[in-house]
Structure 1
C-alpha cells in the first residue's frame, strides 16, 4: 500500500520514486533525441534502469528471456542515452537516445514501421 505522503513527493518533488508494476517493471518509450521519432517500446526493472544510468547505454528487461538486455549487445546497434524523462506519477519513462543503427530487430529504423488501417496493417514509407 502506498503511503499518502508519497504521492505529493512522487508528483511534485525532486526525489526519484519510480512506480513499478507488481512484477517490478516500468514502461519505457525510446525516442530519437534529435528527430523526436519514437523508436521502440520496452520495459525496464530496477536493475536495467541502474545499468542504463551507470553506462549511458539503454538496458531493458527482456520479458521473453527473463533477463537483463543491453540493446545492441549482439547487433552493435546501441542506444546512447542522452536524457531520461519521467512522467508525472513516475510510472513511465521516455529515453531520449542517439541510436548507432536501426532500433528494430527487423532492421527497420524504428519498431513502429506499420500503420493500422481499416484493411489491416500497411508499411509506412
Structure 2
C-alpha cells in the first residue's frame, strides 16, 4: 500500500489546515463521498475526518502535484481541523531570531 502526503487547505481562506496520509482507497472514497478520508498510519485503517468529532471536511477540489506523489485537498472545514481545538494544526510558531 503506497501512501502519499495529503496537504489540506481551506478552500476560501487558503489557510493550510493539516497534513494527513492517503492511499488509493482513501482517495477513491474521498472522491465518491465528498468527505475527506485518510489512512491512519498508527491504527492502520481508513478514517473519515470528523466521524468522531463532527469536524468534517467537505472536499471542493483535489489536486496532485507535478510528480503525483503528493495531493492537495481544498476543503470547506466544518468546525476546527486540529484535534487540539485549533483551526489549523500549524499553530506552533517558530522564533527565527535565535
Q: TM above 0.5, one fold?
A: yes
Find the counterpart in structure 1 of residue 21 from structure 2.
Answer: 43
Of 81, 90, 93, which residue of structure 1 is paired with 2:59?
Answer: 81
Unaligned runs of 5+ in 1: 1-22, 121-125
Q: CA–CA distance in 2 between the matches of 1:100 and 1:66?
A: 25
Unaligned runs of 5+ in 2: none
Which one has a bigger Cα radius of gyration?
1
Find the counterpart in structure 2 of residue 3 from structure 1.
Answer: none
TM-score (norm 1): 0.75
Q: CA–CA distance in 2 between the matches of 1:75 and 1:30?
A: 17
Q: For the aligned residues, what is the CA RMSD? A: 1.4
CA positional deviation for 1:115: 1.0
| Secondary structure of residue in 1 paired with 2:93 | strand
| Secondary structure of residue in 2 paired with 1:116 | coil
Q: CA–CA distance in 1 between the matches of 2:63 and 2:71?
A: 6
1:1-125 matches, cutoff 5 A: 23-117=1-95
Q: Higher relative CO (CA 8 A, sep ≥ 6), structure 1 or 2?
A: 2
Extract structure 1 runs of 4+ deviating beyond 2 A: none
Q: CA–CA distance in 2 between the matches of 1:107 and 1:119?
A: 28
Q: CA–CA distance in 1 between the matches of 2:43 and 2:96?
A: 34
